[in-house]
């Protein structure tokens, strides 16, 4: 949290909202990352082009911001790799179980006043809080 500034957080949130709105207005699609990625896995969706472009834009934004800002974005992964892999599988399972991810439900669904998305987002957040508590305070990572 040492690099947090309210202005960059506000700008980032506005850009996420703008991207989600444009995707909905221009293509009638929800900007849920798990659904977008899922369409690139076999069996491939027929509209794979925009999906690939969207994900490439997501992956290229941090390095481009580092160039624009004049300093690279530092990233570190402190927990053991096995814990990260297990966490990744659990997130993937959760997105299938919850019929979407935090971007689909939290950004797009809540803004459309979807009760299902509101419940899913509260569930994501509560599970996230519990997970951080367990990993940091009970497991000591």
Write down how long the chain is. Answer: 141
Q: Is the pLDDT higher at 67 or at 73?
A: 67
Asked if omega into 11 is within 30° of 0 (cis), the reply is: no
Helix (H, G, I), strand (E, B) or coil at 131: helix
Angle at the Cα of 105 (from 103 to 107), degrees rounded to 5? 50
Q: DSSP letter at 130?
A: H
- pLDDT for the residue 2: 63
What is the C-alpha separation between 77 and 67, in angstroms, rounded? 22
pLDDT at 114 over 60: yes
Segment 88-110 mean pLDDT: 88
Reported confidence tier of residue 78, pLDDT bands at 50, 70, 90: confident
Alpha helices in 6-114 (DSSP H): 6-27, 33-38, 48-69, 81-97, 110-111
Position 140 pLDDT exceeds 60: yes
For the whole model, what pTM was predicted?
0.79
Rounded CA separation 137/141 (Å): 8
Domain residue spans of the chain: 1-75, 77-141
Residues 100-129, mean pLDDT to the nearest whole number: 91
Tens of pLDDT along 2-33? 667 899 889 889 999 999 999 999 999 999 99
pLDDT of 23: 92
| Structure letter (DSSP) for residue 26 | H
Give SS3 for 108.
helix
* Tokens of residue 28, six digits: 């009638």
Position 34 pLDDT exceeds 70:
yes
């Amino acid at each position: 949290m040492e690099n947090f500034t309210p202005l960059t957080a506000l700008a980032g949130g506005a850009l996420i909202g703008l991207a989600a709105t444009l995707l909905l207005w221009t293509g009638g699609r929800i900007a849920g990352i798990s659904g977008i990625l899922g369409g690139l896995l076999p069996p491939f969706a027929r509209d794979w082009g925009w999906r690939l472009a969207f994900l490439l834009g997501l992956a290229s934004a941090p390095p481009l911001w580092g160039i624009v800002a004049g300093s690279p974005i530092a990233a570190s992964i402190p927990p053991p790799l096995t814990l990260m892999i297990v966490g990744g599988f659990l997130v993937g399972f959760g997105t299938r179980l919850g019929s979407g991810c935090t971007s689909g439900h939290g950004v797009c669904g809540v803004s459309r006043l979807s009760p299902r998305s509101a419940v899913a987002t509260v569930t994501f957040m509560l599970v996230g809080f519990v997970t951080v508590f367990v990993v940091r305070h009970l497991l000591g990572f």
